[in-house]
Structure 1
Amino acid sequence: MGEKLPFRARNPDNTKQLILDAAKIEFAKAGLGGARVDKIAETSGANKGMIYHYFGGKEELFAAVVEDAYLGIRSQERLLGLLDLKPSEAIKKLVEFTWEYYLENPEFITLVNSENLHEARHIAGSKQLRKLQKEYVDTVREILERGAASGEFRKDIDAAQLCITIAAIGFYYLNNRHTGGVLFGFNFASREALAARIKFNIETIMRMVMN
């Protein structure tokens, strides 16, 4: 009892996901430069040889983690059923989802920041991410077009710009909560402040799109 399964009996997909999950924590905490493969191996229960076998090295593992982080938010967005909702309800739900995702997955913000420091070179070659991003923007464009056709939305809204704004309006607030708290003089992460912020985010985006 308690013995680890021999390597041949391991589920490769499960092992890879365990490594990705452990690596996500380590990279979010220490960044690419400070992250240690030894720590990732210890946390995941895999050995370093398995990590190198599946991912090739620390740089490649970091690339896989960042890609997996983006896949996470895009895949959950697809489950929202936005195209089945009234346009105004769909946009509101998207704003709420994006905010809640950031709150529930703080490592996403940290990983995106880290990848920006590396000028996005780890995801630059990911066709899968570009495909998912295009699908996301196309979904928002369809919602906007339906809203414009019904007279609910303005007709001049750029879907890509709206997607960027929905992401930024929550991302900036949470990413700068410490400096913002000092400069603005209140706790950005308090329950009251978070509730006020999502209310403001929804109102801001809806005013942008409504006719």
Structure 2
Amino acid sequence: MSERPRKRDSIGTQEKILAAAMAEFARKGYDGARVDAIIARAKISKNLLYHHFRSKEELYVKVLERTYETMRRRQEEVPLAGLDPVVAMRRLCESTFQTFIEEPEVIVMMNTENLHRGKHVAKSPIIRQLYSRLAVTIQAILEQGEARGLFRSGVDPVELYISISALGYFYLSNRYTLSMIFDRDLKSPENLARRKAHIIEMTMAYLTAGAADAAPLAAVPSAEAAPKAQARKAR
């Protein structure tokens, strides 16, 4: 067998193990997950798993990295560079919330890791690098918006992202209890759309407060509405 097929087989085996591990960790958390269950789900031998990953903890860190990489990849599918800063910030809000909706294991894994006080994230330089790049991107958008008089000055990009993320994360991570308490189905498409609009409105109200040239929120179309508005204008 040539080197290339061997490498493909190795990558394919790692992908199977990571997919099985993600399912097991997402269901049972780090402490409750069992290596034997991951092996059974991946349909491989224990020796093969330990050939690729030295321990349960190493495997868990790799799954965490995959989780955060998924989050960042989904956000980066919506390009922000070169956009009007208001449109870029709205799209960041939309893509962050939409990723939480469509990738529920992200929330589960984050909840689990917070129970462990982030000790596994601390072992991954990859995760920190992912979010360092995000902070740089947000900083550039904020600076452009401030220079044009659209955004207030002195906004911390990390604080802003934490707030945007929290507005969606808390809603979804607590959707079952909040739905019961308020007798409202927070998972319905109508309520998810309402929440997304709420996140955008709150974020933009904060960013534009006190900015001399900021347009009224209603005058700035969302990323979803913009193509429709442009099409109507073309007609």
Q: TM > 0.5 between the two?
A: yes
Using the alignment, how far apart are the partners of 2:172 and 2:75 within structure 1?
20
Instruction: Please give the secondary structure, in 1, of the residue aligned with 2:117.
Output: coil
* Partner of residue 168, structure 1: 166
- Deviations 1:133-157 (Å, cap 9, x if unpaired)? 1110010000000011011111121
- Conserved in 1, the CA contact under 8 Å of 2:17 and 2:42? yes
Q: TM-score, normalised by structure 1?
A: 0.91
The 3 A distance-change label for structure 1 pair 10 and 157 is closer
- Taking the TM superposition and a 5 Å limit, the aligned residue runs for 1:102-117 are 102-117=100-115
Using the alignment, how far apart are the partners of 2:74 and 2:82 within structure 1?
15
Q: What's the Cα RMSD here? A: 1.7
Aligned length: 205
Moved more, 106-115 or 73-82: 73-82
Using the alignment, how far apart are the partners of 1:62 and 1:37 within structure 2?
10
Instruction: Please give the secondary structure, in 1, of the residue aligned with 2:78.
Output: coil
Q: TM-score, normalised by structure 2?
A: 0.82
Corresponding letter in the other structure for 1:155: S
Using the alignment, how far apart are the partners of 2:8 and 2:159 within structure 1?
45
- Deviations 1:71-130 (Å, cap 9, x if unpaired)? 121233333221121111111111111111111110110000101111111110222221
- Conserved in 1, the CA contact under 8 Å of 2:74 and 2:95? no
- Taking the TM superposition and a 5 Å limit, the aligned residue runs for 1:70-89 are 70-89=68-87
- Taking the TM superposition and a 5 Å limit, the aligned residue runs for 1:1-211 are 11-210=9-208, 211=211
Q: What is the Cα deviation at residue 132 of structure 1? A: 1.5
Using the alignment, how far apart are the partners of 1:9 and 1:141 within structure 2?
40
The unaligned stretches of length 5 or more in structure 2 are 212-235
- Deviations 1:139-180 (Å, cap 9, x if unpaired)? 000000001101111112111100101111000000001111
Using the alignment, how far apart are the partners of 1:70 and 1:184 within structure 2?
31
Using the alignment, how far apart are the partners of 2:185 and 2:170 within structure 1?
15
Q: Which runs of 4+ in 1 moved over 6 A?
A: none
Using the alignment, how far apart are the partners of 2:201 and 2:8 within structure 1?
50
